[in-house]
């Protein structure tokens, strides 16, 4: 704090207290009420990547808490997560940009949008639109449930009071460098959720396996308030351990002293922060490091509460 930095606290980053997990965790509806008790801090993010918690944690069992489902627990967990978030406001939504295989094919464009609704809209639609799931989710899951001879949809139903409470409350081989991805997803957010939704990008980066020091950062009306690189230094990356490195600083894990070596991107990023953004050169149309009120990208370590969407790219 003495350096003028205010940390962001993520209340749940796949680390639910064991006592709550033993009572059912996110499959227990009462967890949403218990979760609200944690939210007595000034600046916070409620939930880290609820899609990952739901799908990877309660369907395929690859992430915490490692539960495998059959197309049922995934929706129950997500339902409780959304209601938990509604009691505390600020969620970090993980987002993958999904594009049509053939952008000139209406069927492909529709399929890409449906996939986006099932991944991003699943959590954003209840919070920012009407307190309920996207219609395409309700329709598809409801019909599939009927085909499975189930008496009700596998997708839980919000009560009218819950809808009112939720609406308006508010992150290698498997990652690809896609310069246009952030711009596309932010535009999708503006077009679908509205132009007045403040956005903080809390995770953006790509990993390598060898600690490459010659990495690069390229530049790619939306209300983007903050950006945070993923991450300051190489770390223990969940199930992948130390095999993938996301840090702006390379860490030698074979040395007991864990020496840090800045990657090439550190020089770029430090200048970006010092200059408080980019400047648009009107003569050549190029964005360069500097300050310009129309092209500011902040390193923000302060989060404002209420109706803010957090991205993890």
Whether 203 sits among the annotated catalytic residues: the reply is yes
Handedness of CA 211, 217, 222, 223 (dihedral sign): positive
Among the listed residues 49, 59, 162, 203, the single catalytic one is 203
Q: Which contacts of 283-291 are long-range, i.e. CB under 8 A and separated by 24 or more positions?
A: 287/219
Q: Which residues are catalytic?
A: 203
């Amino acid at each position: 704090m003495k350096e003028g930095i205010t940390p962001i606290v993520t209340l749940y980053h796949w680390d639910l207290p064991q006592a709550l997990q033993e009572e059912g965790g996110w499959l227990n509806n009462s967890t949403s009420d218990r979760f609200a008790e944690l939210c007595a801090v000034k600046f916070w993010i409620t939930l880290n990547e609820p899609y990952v918690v739901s799908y990877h944690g309660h369907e395929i069992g690859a992430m915490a808490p490692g539960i495998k489902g059959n197309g049922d627990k995934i929706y129950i967990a997500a339902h409780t997560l959304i209601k938990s978030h509604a009691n505390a406001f600020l969620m970090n939504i993980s987002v993958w940009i999904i594009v049509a295989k053939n952008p000139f094919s209406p069927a492909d464009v529709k399929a890409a949008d449906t996939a986006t609704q099932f991944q991003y809209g699943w959590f954003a639609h209840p919070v920012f639109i009407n307190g309920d799931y996207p219609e395409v989710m309700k329709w598809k899951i409801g019909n599939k449930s009927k085909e499975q001879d189930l008496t009700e949809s596998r997708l839980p139903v919000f009560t009218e009071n819950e809808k009112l409470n939720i609406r308006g409350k508010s992150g290698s081989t498997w990652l690809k460098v896609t310069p246009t991805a952030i711009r596309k997803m932010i535009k999708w957010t503006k077009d679908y959720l509205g132009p007045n939704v403040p956005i903080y990008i809390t995770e953006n980066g790509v990993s390598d396996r060898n600690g490459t020091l010659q990495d690069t950062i390229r530049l790619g009306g939306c209300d983007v308030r903050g950006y945070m690189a993923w991450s300051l230094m190489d770390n223990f990356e969940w199930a992948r351990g130390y095999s993938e490195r996301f840090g702006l600083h390379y860490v030698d894990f074979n040395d007991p002293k864990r020496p840090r070596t800045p990657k090439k991107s550190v020089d770029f990023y430090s200048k970006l922060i010092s200059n408080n953004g980019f400047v648009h050169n009107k003569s050549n149309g190029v964005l360069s490091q500097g300050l310009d009120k129309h092209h500011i990208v902040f390193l923000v370590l302060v989060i404002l509460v209420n109706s803010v969407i957090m991205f993890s790219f």
